[in-house]
């Protein structure tokens, strides 16, 4: 009997050992995922940007539904046009913004950018509150916000490497994607509640208030701007940046990949209001739930990139994920079942953010410090420019064909084929 009792008791002795090991593994994984948050300035900016991004996504959801309400039968065209006009300044001013980011204090540029976007949000809230809002008001304010982002974007991207060490840069970029996509989960949820209880004015007003948090974070940074020792003419500096990117095949390929991903991939999110209304015949609540699934997938994808960090074959991984994204978009276009659509949208969100995070990380790692603002601005012009152009072209095709799923299916096929071509031919990207 004594021997039997001892035999039964033996497994129990191992249980206390397993729990600490499991906790240690979880703790190690958490530290690896959140490595960049150990830097005080990055942590401060991260939380400020998260709050602002939540407000921005509230406005995106509300603004899209406002356009659908005002434009009715032409809503597909105006959704694409709004996305195009909001990003159009990126095409015209981002390169200049990159040069200025290398010449001036990046924090000051960001403060000005945030103030302009805050004013635009409050202006739209007033227009809706007074019931005088028209489509052209929305489009004009989108242009104004786009101009601010054209100068603030390169400054923000160029500021991040000065807040963390180089080994933690891919982690910082992935964490930046996490905060943006956490906002994409939280923002639509709050927007759905606010739209049904308080109305659109609350969404636009709360977005304006949210900019105060990132402004406070920027004012609290300890990073010191180092003035360039020699300042050349802006035109010459712009030419230097363009020449450098042109002579680096890997940067050229990354710029093309960024443009193609945005041009063919982001219309999936642009036309979600139409999918909700015309395919599933649902209201704004269903639309916000779809946005939440997409955002949740994006957070999951960013967490994976943050955990992986810097590693060999990042380029090969990027192209493989881009091909997978194309196939998932094709599957989404054929789905007519709500749960399957939500699942595919979750996967698409993960693939989108993983592609964008990897592309941005590679550009940042390949860019020299003295040219970072200009190199990043060239990539941003392609990436951010691809979104409005893709939205405009896809919106026009939806208007002609009368079918958003058909256009999304064509986009997915094209995206997968282009990724396959880059995988076969290489173009230097598979080696990084």
pLDDT of residue 366: 77
Report pLDDT for 347.
Answer: 94
**Residues 141, 117: Cα–Cα separation, whole Å:** 9
Calculate the alpha carbon distances from 179 to 46, 297, 361 in Å.
Answer: 7, 13, 16
Please provide residue 233's backbone torsions phi and psi, each rounded to the nearest 5 degrees: -65, 145
pTM of the prediction?
Answer: 0.67
What is the Cα–Cα distance from 418 to 255, expressed in whole angstroms?
A: 14
Q: What is the pLDDT of residue 11?
A: 46
pLDDT score of 431: 58
* pLDDT on residue 311: 61
CB 184 within 8 A of CB 300: no
* C-alpha to C-alpha distance for 7 and 14, rounded to whole angstroms: 13
Per-residue pLDDT tens, the chain, 432 aa: give them.
444 444 444 444 444 445 565 455 445 556 667 778 888 888 999 999 889 889 888 888 888 888 888 876 677 778 878 877 887 787 778 777 777 877 777 888 899 999 999 999 999 999 989 989 888 999 999 999 988 988 887 788 778 888 888 777 778 877 887 787 777 778 877 887 888 788 888 889 999 999 999 999 999 888 765 555 455 666 677 777 777 777 777 888 888 888 998 899 988 888 888 888 888 888 777 887 888 888 788 878 877 877 776 666 777 888 889 999 999 999 999 988 889 999 999 999 889 888 888 888 788 777 776 676 777 777 777 877 787 788 888 888 888 888 889 999 999 999 999 988 888 876 566 555
pLDDT, position 7: 46
Let me know: does 329 contact 321? Beta carbons within 8 Å.
no
The pLDDT of residue 168 is 79
Residue 200 has a pLDDT of 84
CB 113 within 8 A of CB 152: yes
Contact 385, 261 (CB under 8 A): no
Measuring CA to CA, how many Å separate 369 from each of 30, 108, 253, 307, 375? 29, 19, 20, 25, 10
Domains of the chain in start order, with CATH, are 37-219+231-431 (1.20.1250.20)
CA distance 273 to 250: 37
Q: How far apart are CA 161 and CA 300, in angstroms?
A: 23
d(Cα 54, Cα 194) in Å, to the nearest integer?
13
């Amino acid at each position: 009997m004594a021997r039997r009792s001892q035999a039964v008791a033996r497994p129990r002795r191992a249980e206390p050992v397993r729990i600490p090991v499991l906790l240690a593994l979880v703790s190690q994984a958490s530290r690896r995922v959140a490595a960049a948050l150990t830097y005080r300035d990055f942590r401060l900016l991260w939380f400020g940007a998260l709050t602002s991004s939540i407000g921005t996504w509230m406005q995106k959801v509300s603004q899209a539904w406002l356009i659908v309400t005002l434009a009715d039968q032409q809503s597909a065209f105006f959704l694409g046009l709004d996305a195009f006009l909001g990003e159009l300044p990126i095409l015209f001013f981002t390169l200049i913004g990159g040069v200025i980011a290398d010449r001036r204090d990046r924090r000051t540029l960001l403060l000005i950018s945030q103030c302009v976007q805050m004013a635009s949000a409050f202006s739209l809230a007033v227009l809706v509150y007074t019931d005088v809002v028209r489509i052209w008001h929305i489009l004009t304010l989108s242009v104004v916000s786009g101009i601010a982002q054209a100068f603030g974007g390169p400054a923000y991207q160029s500021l991040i490497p000065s807040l963390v060490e180089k080994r933690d840069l891919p982690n910082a970029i992935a964490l930046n994607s996490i905060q943006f996509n956490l906002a994409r989960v939280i923002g639509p949820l709050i927007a759905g509640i606010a739209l049904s209880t308080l109305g659109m004015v609350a969404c636009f007003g709360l977005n304006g208030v949210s900019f105060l948090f990132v402004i406070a974070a920027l004012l609290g940074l300890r990073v010191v701007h180092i003035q360039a020792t020699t300042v050349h003419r802006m035109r010459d500096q712009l030419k230097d940046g363009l020449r450098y990117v042109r002579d680096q095949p890997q940067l050229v390929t990354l710029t093309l990949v960024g443009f193609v991903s945005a041009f063919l991939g982001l219309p999936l999110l642009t036309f979600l209001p139409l999918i909700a209304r015309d395919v599933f015949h649902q209201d704004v609540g269903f639309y916000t739930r779809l946005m939440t699934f997409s955002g949740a997938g994006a957070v999951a994808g960013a967490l994976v990139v943050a955990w992986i960090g810097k590693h060999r074959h990042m380029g090969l991984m990027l192209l493989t994920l881009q091909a997978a994204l194309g196939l998932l978009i094709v599957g989404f276009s054929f789905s007519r079942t709500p749960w399957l659509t939500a699942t595919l949208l979750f996967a698409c969100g993960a693939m989108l953010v993983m592609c964008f995070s990897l592309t941005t990380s590679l550009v940042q790692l390949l860019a020299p410090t003295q040219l970072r603002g200009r190199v990043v601005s060239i990539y941003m012009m392609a990436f951010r420019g691809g979104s409005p152009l893709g939205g405009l072209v896809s919106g026009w095709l939806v208007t002609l064909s009368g079918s958003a799923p058909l256009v999304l299916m064509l986009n997915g096929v094209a995206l997968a084929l282009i990724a396959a071509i880059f995988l076969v031919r290489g173009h230097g990207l598979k080696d990084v």
